[in-house]
Amino acid sequence: MRRGWIWAVFLAAFAAEPLTAQQPPPSRPSDLKTEQPPSNPTLNRAEALLEAGHWKTAHDLLVPWFKNHPAAPDLDRAVFLLARTYYQSGDRVRAFYHLDELMDDFPESKFFYPSLELQYQIAIDYLNGYKNSFFGLRIVPGYDEAIEMLFRIQERSPGSPLAEKALRLTADYYFNSSQFDLAADAYSTFIRSYPRSPDIPQVKLRQAFSSLAQFRNARLDATPLIDARAQFKALQVQYPEIAAEANAAQWIEWIDGQLARKAYITADFYRRTGKLTGAVFLYRYVVQTYPNSHEAALSRRDLERMPPWALRQPPPPQSNPEAAAQALPTATPPAPAPASTGKPR
């Protein structure tokens, strides 16, 4: 499946949970009371066979029953049992789409939520390494299928506990597979959608690391650093124990070093291209904002080499790492003075 299609669906979805197989939550009874069909010996027998693990016999019992009872009052139960036979046989995709059929055709069925829970378990199976068959061999991973399945579950039950688990699972999958841009967005969606979830502290921690992991080097965009710094600082305030365990203070210090490095690289570019007033502005910015950094020492050295006319430019506004982390994208030096026939004095 194309990742672009999955991403488009993601923007409209909520839902997920950790990348560890868990038992599905207890079935939720239907909110609508429906008349119970009479006991069906054939379906009872098929269900007993499935409980005993005899899926093939159950399948062979159900298929002719479908042909002979196309409008039976307990058709929803039969579809659910058929989906279970495919699940036990290993055909997870066919099981998933039979469950979809049940929920489309029988939205008031008591098997609606058990169907969602089985779909959720199918998605977990794929994320935990279950493979589709190719010429009879299970060699085709189903990670993309799993993510699409989780989105379908979210659409079926937005805001539900199962949707919450599905969104967390999706975000953790993106994180563990190093798709950090998608992980950061998924964690942000989880925080907005489920602010009271007990998973929020760990989700916010992973959100910070997802932002940090998108940073490449000091010559490129600093936005991931700025986002990560703000997220680590928020963790220190809201969840100090988790922040301490994750060494948030050290990560903030490292981020400040990278921001100082980026500002110094920009200042050096201005110096090399003859824009000395801009260079002086940013050298002073580094010294003032990150006074204990290696780049501050380099900036002091370079300031001593600047001509007097460049040093007469006004200094940057007073700043500190907290304010600088937000202002860096706009911390541009003043425009250089128009060219003249002689050196400024």
- At residue 95, φ and ψ (nearest 5 deg) are -60, -45
What is the number of alpha carbons within 13 Å of residue 317 lying toward its C-beta? Answer: 10
Q: In this predicted structure, what is the pLDDT of residue 325?
A: 53
Is residue 13 very low, low, confident or very high in pLDDT (cuts 50, 70, 90)? very low
Q: What CA–CA distance (Å, rounded) separates 275 from 268?
A: 10
Q: Which residues of 285-296 are buried (b: 16+ CB within 10 A; e: fewer)?
A: bbbbbbeebebb
Contacts 24+ apart (CB under 8 A), 331-336: 331/263, 331/282, 331/285, 333/270, 333/275, 333/277, 333/278, 333/279, 333/280, 333/281, 333/282, 334/277, 334/278, 334/281, 336/275, 336/276, 336/277, 336/278
Is the Cβ–Cβ distance between 218 and 265 less than 8 Å?
yes
Q: What CA–CA distance (Å, rounded) separates 93 from 33?
A: 31
Q: What CA–CA distance (Å, rounded) separates 284 from 315?
A: 7
Instruction: Inform me whether the pLDDT recorded for 216 exceeds 60.
Output: yes
Q: Is the dihedral of CA 59, 63, 65, 69 positive or negative?
A: positive
Per residue in 132-186, pLDDT (tens digit) is: 654 444 555 668 889 999 999 999 998 899 999 999 999 999 999 999 999 999 9
Percent of the chain with pLDDT over 70: 78
Query: Higher pLDDT residue, 217 or 246?
Result: 246
Per residue in 46-90, pLDDT (tens digit) is: 999 999 999 999 999 999 999 999 899 999 999 999 999 999 998
Q: In this predicted structure, what is the pLDDT of residue 129?
A: 82
Mean of all residue pLDDT scores within the chain: 83
Q: In this predicted structure, what is the pLDDT of residue 133?
A: 54
Is the Cβ–Cβ distance between 249 and 230 less than 8 Å?
no
Q: In this predicted structure, what is the pLDDT of residue 103?
A: 95
What's at 297, amino acid-wise? A
Query: Higher pLDDT residue, 312 or 213?
Result: 213
Is the Cβ–Cβ distance between 30 and 126 less than 8 Å?
no
Name, in order, each residue with C-beta under 8 angstroms of 93's C-beta and a sequence gap of 6 or more.
132, 142, 145
Per residue in 219-274, pLDDT (tens digit) is: 888 899 999 999 999 999 999 999 999 999 999 999 999 999 999 999 999 999 99
Distance, C-alpha 326 to centroid of its chain? 24
- At residue 41, φ and ψ (nearest 5 deg) are -60, -35
Instruction: Inform me whether the pLDDT recorded for 329 exceeds 50.
Output: no
Query: Higher pLDDT residue, 42 or 4?
Result: 42
Q: What is the CA radius of gyration of the chain?
A: 30
What's the token pair of residue 203?
């989700």
Per residue in 268-291, pLDDT (tens digit) is: 999 999 999 999 999 999 999 999
Instruction: Inform me whether the pLDDT recorded for 9 exceeds 90.
Output: no
Q: What CA–CA distance (Å, rounded) separates 173 from 20?
A: 10
Q: In this predicted structure, what is the pLDDT of residue 219?
A: 84
Q: Is 79 left (phi over 0), alpha (psi -120 to 50) or beta?
A: alpha
Nearest to 161, CA basis, from 17, 317, 13: 17
